[in-house]
Structure 1
Amino acid sequence: MLLSEYGSALSSRLLSTVTDMDVDQARQESEPADFQPQSQAAPSILETTPLSSDWRDLISPVAYEFIVRWETGGPAYYKQVIKEAPIWPGYASGVTIGCGYDLGYHTASQFAADWSSRLKAAAISRLSPAVGFKTVQPNRDAKVAWVKGFIPQVADIKINWDVAIEQFDTSKMPKLLRDLYGALDSLDRLHPHCRGALLSLVFNRGASFAAAGERYAEMREIARLMRTGGDTEIRQIPAQLRSMKRIWGENSSLAKRREGEAELFEAGLAESGTVGIMAMLASQMEAPEAAPLSRLRELPESETAPASDEIAEPDEEGLLEIEALAVPGVSPDSVKWNPDDSRQPDYAHLDGAPIGQTFTLRPGDLEQLITMNGFRVLGDPAEARIIFMLRGARLANSDKALDHEALLLTDQRPDHRSFRCVIGVYDRARQRLSAFKASTVPNAHYVFKCFSLANQPAKWIGNILPTGCYTFTVGTHKRGQPGEIPEVLRLSTSAAGASTVLVLRSLSDLIYDTMDHWQTTAPGDNIHPGQMSSGFSSAGCLTLPGFWRAGVHSGLWKEFRDAIGLAAGNNDGKQYSGVLLTGTDAALAASLRERAAPQGDIEVALRRLRYGSRGEAVGKLQDALGLDRDTDPMLGPITRMALVQRQQTMFGKADGILSPQSATALGLDVF
């Protein structure tokens, strides 16, 4: 769970100013996690949240690194400052070993159970006098004197970092999580960032949410807010964390830690949509403000709105303005594609399918994927041309393939910088395929810009369009704006509109994952030329190499236009279905065909409900989610948001895709 795997910009923001001196000061001023001051009786309505999952699923990697830095200092601090030896942190602590294991708050049997496999028997025996010994009243001065004399006697007992952090992960972390879950209600409603912020608080102050006295006023208020558990109450928790700074002073290291916890909690609120999802739906989809989600009907696909992201895409010089937002250690160069498929929303449902396969894609594979996803494409099957888009794929031998009966492709992953996807045309009448090097993800600059402006929702620019089936209509990109491009394919059912869909924005780091923020908006994620000599300009659009300059379409973009049938003349209003999937989806379909898999295996591997799915299974999903069933059930922005909310509630994360396996886990009788 080391965060370095994720290159998190949020972690950099929270920890870049934390010094070893801060950690040392905080360690001396902390209230041991096991220290329980006199309690003030909590109201009888408290019903704590059951702890049923592995702790690694309950907090985010960002939260884990935050806790490890503040609690242990990290490997360098542990080796150079603590020197791998027993210490006395101060305050009410006892002798502490490893990563914050306080012997004063453990029994002899607990100490033996936790450390007998990690320390030699002689070391266990020498440390035993400190077990249960705390520097608290009465006679605290005498106890402090004893501890100060004891520490030099055991200074030669060394516990290396690997052993210390392993004990921290397998013993201390789950214990403190149990304490947290035993003290607060509604934790299942929180984003893993938010749970991690509260866990950090428990590490530092103990689970003292019912403690008496003015010192614990904010702790009691957090408990009250969590008992109520409403969005309005949960939004107040960061303010309570900041209010605690009064105890140690605004310039203290613990004030810095409380600020970090507040910012981490706020990042979780922003990503999960816990705050104001209904208000967002009401404002962005023009639904009646008082209408609960369960009574909303799916938006007809023809409804459109002003595009939110489309007008922001600049040329190459315009990207320099975004780079000006960079701070040391956090810039567009920090943007990464998620290296863990299980945490990437487009890939999580594929259950660890192998990466990098080379495969042959045939028209029948696309037909199978269309059927298994319940997509209904436009036009007569005997005449229609369908746009297919494979996120994370490349043509094996060229940048383009024109009018083939099959395509040789290789599965890969995007990088937000180069063309690492495929956009193609499937001619159903002739059973022929054309395909081109392309991108289906935003440029790294826009991932960075959205993160940089996360606290200014009106300025959110930069999204990723989830996989699904969408309608595209020929029209103008950035009409009336600098950089206007005629005859692109608009994500819309009209030549000038922009369809309302559900997109993903990364607000707390620079990597898209299943804990990011889902937003219902009209992004204007159109298909257009990349308009750059290297890479592409996209705040969420789907792009191909090429230009519109001096009244001429050029490059692979022009060849794609030719393949889709956009001849000279006015084509505005011409419509196509666009099927957006991953290279891994396509590779899986091809492998099932090649081994003549039975229908049951195909259903399990490929059957999905995602954006654009239609039919009875979608109707059953709407029923199960408490939505009004559509006359012609379609999985659009409302149904997908309801599914996302159900996944977040059950799993603490969401991909907005329903497979037979996830339907069972969610208790949804759909397939």
Structure 2
Amino acid sequence: MTRMPPAWHDDDRSPNYAHLRAPFAETPFVFDAGALETLCRLTGFRPRGVKILFGLRGCALVDPAEVGAWRNAVRLREARPDHRVPRCVLGVWDRPVGRVIAWPGSTVPNADHMRRQAAAPDRRVANMLAPGMHPYVVGPHAPDGRPVEEGAFQLDRTVEVPVWRSLDAAGYDLACRFDICAPEDNIHAAGWPGDGLEFSSAGCQTLPGRHQPPADPTGDYAAFRRAAGLSPTPDLAETGLAFDYLLVTGRHLQLVAEHWAVPGLARLLPGSSGPEVRLLQDALVSQGRIADWGFTAGVFNGFTAKAVYDWQASRGRTADGVLRPEEAELLGFVLKWPG
């Protein structure tokens, strides 16, 4: 078993970037609510509610003055994700008003937890949540050996989603295990006294700050909760409130923000819904790759993602569970969403 520290693999081997076929770009870019709307159209995401949570994997805020401030637009730049320090952006999109607010954070597991997964390959210890639009509800974060942290955001346990598991702790590439499960990938505070980690995560999405019950949450995490509309002091009455969490890479958002109407950016991935997803599922059912009971018609769930992954692997294509326009044509339909 290798003991090399986690690395971010080349883009053509990355579950996050292989489908984009675009190089790393250090040039800052501007994104606003319009870019998020366009990305949703191109991916068939249909976010519900007023406040939409988002995570941008491999991304950084350019101007410190824009951290934690409601803006019509925010300047970002691409950054290589890291399993030791946070190099992602998390925020809230106020959809009716057309504003966004963002903070630095992490959407990948910490290297310490990856090593624990490598030491127990038969168990589900650590994972990297696949990009997509995922359903979350307000609920407790219950880490082992620590008090329950009420008022966190829980990935809906009734929904099976795709995650990636690295069994050698060397990082995540397309050779890792593509696992369909209901992981406990919450959104919570990053820190805890004495753990020695920049952020504590086995797959959760984290923001700087602490939550040490019975004290209230602190730091950027506390501000994130308030921006989502939650009370500063976690309130059990808010348990079960539903939120959609839009998780994509900074590069994906940059391509959309800078090119807008490019049909080639259309994708089907976890959280997509609509007639195109139904056509995809019909094609997979006809090939015997997905059982009639294994999906909700027109909703791209974990079982649909696994069927796409298996079909891609069988055709010698890049297998990541994300459907591109050219693959839709091979399956007999067209991704018609606007660019």
What TM-score do you get using the length of structure 1 for normalisation?
0.46
Are 1:616 and 2:270 counterparts? no
Deviation at 1:653, TM superposition (A): 4.8
Partner of 2:176: 516
Partner of 2:110: 443
Find the partner of 2:37 among 367, 374, 385: 367
Counting only pairs closer than 5 Å after superposition, residues 144-183 of structure 1 correspond to structure 2 as none
Partner of 2:8: 337
Contact 1:401 1:407 in 2 (8 A): no
Contact 2:189 2:210 in 1 (8 A): yes
Find the partner of 1:462 among 121, 126, 144: 126
Partner of 1:151: none
Find the partner of 2:266 among 601, 604, 607: 607
Contact 1:640 1:656 in 2 (8 A): yes
Alignment-mate amino acid for residue 283 of structure 2: A
Alignment-mate amino acid for residue 361 of structure 1: F
Cα 1:481–1:498 shift into 2, 3 Å: farther
Find the partner of 1:547 among 199, 210, 230: 210
Partner of 1:473: 137
Are 1:433 and 2:100 counterparts? yes
Partner of 1:169: none
Contact 2:137 2:153 in 1 (8 A): yes
Q: Which is richer in helix?
A: 1
Counterparts of 2:325 and 2:26, CA distance in 1: 25
Counting only pairs closer than 5 Å after superposition, residues 328-407 of structure 1 correspond to structure 2 as 330=3, 334-338=5-9, 340-379=10-49, 384-398=50-64, 400-407=67-74
Contact 1:335 1:448 in 2 (8 A): no
Deviation at 1:592, TM superposition (A): 1.3
Q: Which has the higher contact order (CA 8 A, sep 6+)?
A: 2
Secondary structure of the structure 2 residue equivalent to 1:610: coil
Alignment-mate amino acid for residue 177 of structure 2: H
Find the partner of 2:320 among 655, 661, 664: 655
Partner of 1:246: none
Secondary structure of the structure 2 residue equivalent to 1:445: helix
Contact 1:385 1:564 in 2 (8 A): yes
Cα 1:481–1:574 shift into 2, 3 Å: farther
Secondary structure of the structure 2 residue equivalent to 1:350: coil
Counterparts of 2:166 and 2:318, CA distance in 1: 13
Cα 1:561–1:652 shift into 2, 3 Å: same
Counterparts of 1:658 and 1:440, CA distance in 2: 22
Deviation at 1:531, TM superposition (A): 1.9
Deviation at 1:539, TM superposition (A): 0.4
Counterparts of 1:662 and 1:622, CA distance in 2: 13
Partner of 1:563: 227
Alignment-mate amino acid for residue 44 of structure 2: G
Deviation at 1:580, TM superposition (A): 0.4
Deviation at 1:523, TM superposition (A): 0.9
Secondary structure of the structure 2 residue equivalent to 1:546: strand
Are 1:581 and 2:248 counterparts? yes
Alignment-mate amino acid for residue 529 of structure 1: A
Secondary structure of the structure 1 residue equivalent to 2:279: helix
Deviation at 1:350, TM superposition (A): 0.6
Query: Gaps spanning 5+ residues in structure 2: where?
Result: none
* Sequence identity percentage: 35
Contact 1:392 1:583 in 2 (8 A): yes
Secondary structure of the structure 1 residue equivalent to 2:128: coil
Alignment-mate amino acid for residue 543 of structure 1: T
Contact 2:114 2:169 in 1 (8 A): no
Cα 1:480–1:438 shift into 2, 3 Å: closer
Secondary structure of the structure 1 residue equivalent to 2:209: coil
Alignment-mate amino acid for residue 464 of structure 1: M
Deviation at 1:354, TM superposition (A): 3.4
- Give aligned pairs, total: 321
Counting only pairs closer than 5 Å after superposition, residues 261-272 of structure 1 correspond to structure 2 as none
Contact 1:342 1:352 in 2 (8 A): no
Alignment-mate amino acid for residue 608 of structure 1: R
Q: Which is richer in strand?
A: 2
Deviation at 1:667, TM superposition (A): 4.5
Counterparts of 1:573 and 1:488, CA distance in 2: 11
Cα 1:420–1:479 shift into 2, 3 Å: closer
What TM-score do you get using the length of structure 2 for normalisation?
0.89
Cα 1:631–1:572 shift into 2, 3 Å: closer
Contact 1:386 1:426 in 2 (8 A): yes
Cα 1:669–1:446 shift into 2, 3 Å: same
Counterparts of 2:187 and 2:169, CA distance in 1: 26
Counterparts of 1:561 and 1:509, CA distance in 2: 31
Deviation at 1:434, TM superposition (A): 0.4
Which has the larger displacement, 476-485 or 408-417? 476-485
